Chains A and B, each alone.
Chain A
């Protein structure tokens, strides 16, 4: 019955749309880092949009299926092979009993999602299947997958009603444009001067090796606030860009702490948040400012686009 993890890859965890509603208890939302690639994997399979899936990081996992299954791999470009034969991403893959699906290193992007028709079966904790590695709970035993772990797929009560569908077009250009990451100015923008914003919006920053799901540390020209005054700790929204005393920005991400004391210069907009999940160490990143109205319009358009991507 189970799916055996023959090779867990670099960092593979079970994630879903996130664990919301517990930030005031210090519990981070977690959830898929590239929320759109994750959603599309489930859409392709006809799953619930928030069905639990595997998030693989930089180097994919190798899974051995005891039973037949229908799966899909989306997100970062990785070499997927079913019993050694190359199999395409972004579409349903029919796996026969005993077959092995191997996802190799990712050539561009940082994270790929492996969803299974019906969803991976884990007991939700605090309303979510997402792995919380800081709290050691959720997902598969509150941790990343290890060799020999046994996964199960949720049995489909109405399997017949789930139908895998094909995408209309290649979604990559829409999902991952080469344009700068769009941000709005943060609530503490008054604490930064014109010069700081000019620098921030004109320079390229490099993602440091010391980056993970809780935050991406950037290296580049230092940003300074107007005065070096300490700021009182406050809440941190997803995608906040903090500037610690060394002036090197940090993008706070899905596993972030819920409160913090560094100044925030800007915030990644919701419609571009998934792109942060595909940044790799040493990638170069630029930021462009949009208004709050543009940010909200972008997320609305993105939702409309998601409704049109499946072939009828």
Chain B
């Protein structure tokens, strides 16, 4: 599925508007003014037959630094209690697993990661939070994720990364893409603050709003 998705993405076929990969499916959104189901199905079958071995491109491992300070990991202590483990053990397990990016959805840049250790598997919160800050690292069920933009969210929060997970002004705008492998690396609060400040001051898109200067001059 991932290899078919990548092959279609690389085609940059103008008839195809969007690709929505998920766990076990790939939705192809095409422009009905430019093509038909039959033509697209023919293209997909051809690409699927070519079935490039998966492949020359080993999954790239993306490391994400995480500060597990309880100011960010609002649910860390509750998760530890429910799992009957110490907070240190939750952090150790969360940061020793290797995760796979299954697909993105929910919000811009939100990657669903599989590979959460069994001891950390807990249901979502009964009531979602209205505002989860960008960069918050969270778990739900058998999945892990990083909230890339400020949004509502019902997952359990373990920490925060100072790294920008979504920035529409850089290419690619999302730090994680389907098929990537992910490792979380614990950092302390001082390192979080230092990295966060550095990125906030140097990343062009580091503001939550487009600046007035970005309005095109006539």
Q: Which of A's residues lie within 8 Å of B, judged by CB?
A: 1, 20-29, 121-123, 125-126, 132, 134-138, 140-143, 150, 152-155, 232-238, 257-260, 270, 292, 295-296, 299-300, 303
Nearest B residue to A271 by beta-carbon distance?
B32
Distance (Å) between the CB of B96 and the closest chain A CB? 26
Of B5, B24, B214, the most chain A CB neighbours within 10 A belong to B214
Is the CB–CB distance between A29 and B24 below 8 Å?
no
Is the CB–CB distance between A299 and B33 below 8 Å?
yes
Q: Does B53 contact A (CB under 8 A)?
A: no
B115 neighbours in A (Cβ, 8 Å)? none
Is the CB–CB distance between B17 and A29 below 8 Å?
yes
Is the CB–CB distance between A235 and B27 below 8 Å?
yes
Q: Does B168 contact A (CB under 8 A)?
A: yes
- Write the B105-147 contact mask toward A (1 if CB under 8 angstroms, else 0): 1111111100000000000000000000000000000000000
- Within 8 Å by CB of B36, from A21, A24, A29, A296, lies A296
Q: Does B215 contact A (CB under 8 A)?
A: yes
Is the CB–CB distance between B109 and A23 below 8 Å?
no
A122 neighbours in B (Cβ, 8 Å)? 214-216
Tell which of B68-76, B173-181, B185-193 binds the partner. B173-181
Q: Does B203 contact A (CB under 8 A)?
A: no
Nearest B residue to A124 by beta-carbon distance?
B216
Of residues 197 to 218 in B, which have CB atoms within 8 Å of A's CB atoms? Answer: 208-212, 214-218
| 13 new A-B contacts at CB < 8 Å, known A121-B218, A138-B210 | A24-B19, A24-B177, A121-B216, A122-B215, A123-B215, A135-B107, A137-B168, A141-B212, A142-B210, A153-B218, A237-B20, A237-B27, A258-B104
Is the CB–CB distance between A135 and B215 below 8 Å?
no
Nearest B residue to A296 by beta-carbon distance?
B32
Given A257-B105, A259-B103, A270-B32, A25-B172 contact (CB < 8 Å): yes
Distance (Å) between the CB of B126 and the closest chain A CB? 15
Nearest A residue to B148 by beta-carbon distance?
A26
Given A135-B149, A140-B215, A25-B106 contact (CB < 8 Å): no
A140 neighbours in B (Cβ, 8 Å)? 210, 215
A259 neighbours in B (Cβ, 8 Å)? 20, 22, 103-106
Q: Does B78 contact A (CB under 8 A)?
A: no
Is the CB–CB distance between A238 and B214 below 8 Å?
no
Is the CB–CB distance between A20 and B108 below 8 Å?
no
Is the CB–CB distance between B218 and A152 below 8 Å?
yes
A258 neighbours in B (Cβ, 8 Å)? 18, 20, 104-105
Bound CA span A266–B68, Å: 44
Bound CA span A85–B104, Å: 50
Bound CA span A96–B173, Å: 41
Is the CB–CB distance between B174 and A26 below 8 Å?
yes
Bound CA span A125–B108, Å: 13
22 contacts between A and B (CB under 8 A): A24-B103, A25-B109, A26-B104, A27-B109, A121-B215, A122-B215, A125-B210, A126-B173, A135-B109, A135-B166, A136-B149, A136-B209, A141-B212, A142-B210, A152-B216, A152-B217, A235-B21, A237-B20, A237-B29, A258-B20, A258-B105, A259-B103
Bound CA span A136–B205, Å: 11
Given A26-B105, A26-B106, A142-B33 contact (CB < 8 Å): no
Q: Does B9 contact A (CB under 8 A)?
A: yes
Bound CA span A234–B17, Å: 17
Given A26-B110, A27-B108, A123-B208 contact (CB < 8 Å): no
B109 neighbours in A (Cβ, 8 Å)? 25-27, 135
Q: Does B84 contact A (CB under 8 A)?
A: no
- Write the B11-23 contact mask toward A (1 if CB under 8 angstroms, else 0): 0000001111111
Bound CA span A142–B104, Å: 21
B23 neighbours in A (Cβ, 8 Å)? 232-234
Given A153-B218, A232-B23, A270-B32, A26-B168 contact (CB < 8 Å): no
Is the CB–CB distance between B107 and A235 below 8 Å?
no
Distance (Å) between the CB of A188 and the closest chain B CB? 11
Is the CB–CB distance between B216 and A154 below 8 Å?
yes
Distance (Å) between the CB of B116 and the closest chain A CB? 16
Is the CB–CB distance between A235 and B22 below 8 Å?
yes
Q: Does B150 contact A (CB under 8 A)?
A: yes
B19 neighbours in A (Cβ, 8 Å)? 23-24
Of A26, A123, A153, A238, the most chain B CB neighbours within 10 A belong to A26
Is the CB–CB distance between A234 and B168 below 8 Å?
no
- 10 closest Cβ contacts across the A-B interface? A235-B20, A235-B27, A259-B105, A135-B108, A23-B18, A26-B104, A25-B174, A121-B216, A20-B17, A234-B22
Bound CA span A23–B20, Å: 6
B174 neighbours in A (Cβ, 8 Å)? 25-27
